[in-house]
Structure 1
Amino acid sequence: MPIYTSDFEVEWKEDESPLTAADKASHEYIVEKLEKRFPHIPVLSEESVSIPWEERRKWKEYWLIDPLDGTKEFIKKNGEFTVNIALIRQNVSALGVVYSPEYDVCWFAAEGKGAFRQEGVDRAVRIKSSCPDNLDALAIVGSRSHQSEAVSAFLEFLTNPELLPMGSSLKICAVAEGKADIYPRLGLTSEWDTAAAHCVVTESGGYLLDEHGVPLIYNSKESLLNPHFIVLGGANGRWREEVIHAFRKANELTA
């Protein structure tokens, strides 16, 4: 946060994504603490992606972290950035922690234990995703920095949707706590962008699915890129099928 409030410099990676001193400092701090507390569990961070696939593919359990998710929002100083820490076990997000430094809010979950939201030092409260009956007047969260024509096409399948612009993994957490119903992601993301919040939304009763309605998995291939995905509240039956169908149609526009 001292970096956030300062006049910091911005570097650019080869993929043209931004990097700040806060990304580096957060990475170093988290990795140091995890390696000290859990020396037997490897750590993969957005800032340490050079670990070769031949080594990663052998991992049955590892920490997957995004030290600063929403760097573009961090640069804009709008507060919509998070720190994401997930424990991946057998390709599934088994534990997830998403923290918002600006708002001092933490969302966390563990497999089979439920999902929770804690504000400051207040007692953590259990959260549940929404479960709409139909496609009318749904709240849709979308990226503040990555909006696309495909997302606009997806919205056309819905009736009177309300679009809520938001940055970072806050979008997935918004679905997890029922503030939004759907988050369609029709653009590139990496596994560290979704892993922590994936556990949170799953344990809240929601879903994070690819265009075929299958949950995302982690460390199953050499590439760390995710397929396009959609996050849903407690959707089931006809509601869920209709939304995934609309998402698949919109996804065809990106092919």
Structure 2
Amino acid sequence: MSLADRLPTPEEGLTALALEAAIAAAAVIMEVYARPITAVRKSDGSPVTEADAAAEAIIIEHLKVTGIPILGEESVAAGIIPVLGNRYFVVDPLDGTKEFIKRNGEFTVNIALVEDGVPVMGVVLAPASGETFVGDARGAYFCMNRNGIMSSPEKMAASSAAPMRIVASRSHGHAALASLCEALAVDEDVSVGSSLKFCLLARGDAQLYPRFTPTCEWDTAAGQAVLEAAGGAVVTLDGERMRYGKHHSSFLNPYFVAAANMPLAQRAAAEMSRILG
């Protein structure tokens, strides 16, 4: 029985719908992945491919039946920003476009539901591997997408067990990372692209993900929902939970840290703040 078959309530039905949308988007992404990839630059300098727009269109088609506003990365890039209100979907149809172009498989489809500034549901699906991570009010779950069919869900939980592992991005880096690792006695680095960084923490494979470089809400909302559902935390450098709906800053996130638990997140945030001065 798949995860979608076990969702009796309206709230859980939104999770099932997001999961279906992610599966459909993943299929289109892999069609593009199978042939030569052409990328162009957006106004902010980031790359975009035909897969980004095609995947977002499919996701929007699935989600629009709910009547809930949709904040989509490619829509925003095109100047389409709906009135969001207190409840809206956040969509990154292809997170990790650089990884997609490199063909390393570490790219994801991200769909989240935000309520009152907090991501309460998230789906992160890696099209190349089929790995799928889901978080909502029931907790966090892992399953595999095999040609559009989901395996039975397995419960996930963040872990604070030693050794301390930190997730570092392959496509981004910061000089302060070494200082943070020393301050927190980090034993190992685990490098992975896209929102899979949140998912490694949610599965207990790592404990810490500091972010010293810019992100937008669509980059983080689904991953944050999954991690928090698994018992982890995502905080900004003031130690407060990272929130959403930042119209005034073009939906840019401040620097943040994701961690296996709130005390570790707040400790790391304090160290990051100190290091950055």
Same topology, TM > 0.5: yes
- Is the CA contact 2:246–2:252 (under 8 Å) kept in the aligned structure 1? no
Q: 1:140: how far off?
A: 0.5
Aligned to 2:123, the other structure's residue is in SS state: strand
Does 1:17 pair with 2:46?
Answer: yes
Q: Tell me how far apart the structure 2 counterparts of residues 160 and 211 of structure 1 sit (CA, whole Å).
A: 19
Number of equivalenced pairs: 241
Please point out which of 31, 44, 47 is paired with 2:74: 47
Residue 235 of structure 1: CA displacement? 4.4
3-state secondary structure, aligned to 1:66: strand
Relative to structure 1, the CA distance from residue 9 to residue 241 in structure 2 (aligned partners, 3 Å threshold; closer, same or farther) is: closer
Structure 1 position 117 matched with structure 2 position 146: no
Shift of 1:241: 4.8
Provide the rounded CA distance (Å) in 2 between the counterparts of 1:130 and 1:233: 6
Give the equivalent residue in structure 2 for 1:147. 173
CA RMSD of aligned residues (A): 1.6
CA distance in 1, matches of 2:52, 2:246: 26
2:124 corresponds to 1:95: no
Give 1:228 deviation, angstroms: 0.3
Contact 1:3 1:21 in 2 (8 A): yes
Q: CA distance change for structure 1 residues 23 and 157 in 2, over 3 Å: closer, same or farther?
A: same
Separation in 2, partners of 1:51, 1:217: 22
Higher helix share: 2
Residue 158 of structure 1, aligned match among 184, 209, 212: 184
Q: TM-score, normalised by structure 1?
A: 0.89
Letter in 2 for 1:41: I
8 Å Cα contact 2:159-2:207 kept in structure 1: yes
Distance 1:240 1:10, change over 3 A: closer
1:240 deviates by 5.0
SS of the residue 2:110 aligns to: strand
Query: How far did residue 113 of structure 1 move?
Result: 1.4
Structure-2-length-normalised TM-score: 0.83
State the distance in 2 between where 1:206 and 1:32 align. 32
Specify which of 63, 72, 90 is matched with residue 34 of structure 1: 63
Structure 2 Cα separation of the partners of residues 160 and 216 of structure 1: 23
Query: Cα deviations across residues 141-173 of structure 1 (Å, max 9, x unaligned)?
Result: 011000111222211213252111110000011
Determine if contact 1:151/1:250 at 8 Å carries over to the other structure.
no
The one-letter code sitting in structure 2 at the alignment partner of 1:172 is: F
Rounded to whole Å, the distance in 2 between the matches of 1:225 and 1:241 is 21
Look up the match of 1:251: 276
Counterpart for residue 227 of structure 1: 254
